[in-house]
Amino acid sequence: MKTIKSMMNHLYWADGRILDALEKSATKNKDLLKLVRHVAVAEIVWLSRLLGKGTEHYALWEEAEDLTAVRTMFEENAEQYRVYIEGLKESELDEMIDYSNQSGVQFRTSVRDILLQVILHGQYHRGQINRALRIDSAEPAQVDYITFARL
């Protein structure tokens, strides 16, 4: 549980760092804005599944007009995940969750694997965003776990 909590704390930190880099770059790249919004919405979707709520009303790939709304989503996600994880017992990590994906296909996955999906999914897309920032001659965000762990 300690590792998952630490990795989730890294996720909250890294979400903020990538938003800071996007804001600093002043990018108008709609694909990057869509991608960072996708990460925020995916976090909401997975938490909803963990809580036994439906997710069909969430659109994973809508355009984002600006980063303010996305930052608000990330901040709300962090708070809701903190509450969820604080109430989670080690023994509950291997409980199975039944849910439907956005296409209505049924799945059954452990709480542990869902949390790892959230952690790894965000890191994957932050890497994509950083690469695009570098190509656009903007400064990418340092979001490596080790950088966070050294704080």
**Dihedral angle sign, alpha carbons of residues 68, 83, 16, 63:** negative
0.75 exceeded by pTM: yes
The residue extents of the domains of the chain are 2-109+136-146
Q: Could you read off the pLDDT of 63-119 as tens digits, one per residue?
A: 997 899 999 999 999 999 999 999 999 999 999 999 999 999 999 999 999 999 999
User: Which tens digit of pLDDT belongs to each residue from 11-32?
Assistant: 999 999 999 999 999 988 999 9
* Residue 10 annotated as part of some ligand binding site: no
> Computed from CA positions of residues 55, 56, 61, 64, in that sequence, does the dihedral angle turn out positive or negative?
negative
Check whether 57 is labelled as a binding-site residue: no
pLDDT for 28 equals 86
Backbone angles phi, psi at 143, to 5 degrees: -125, 15
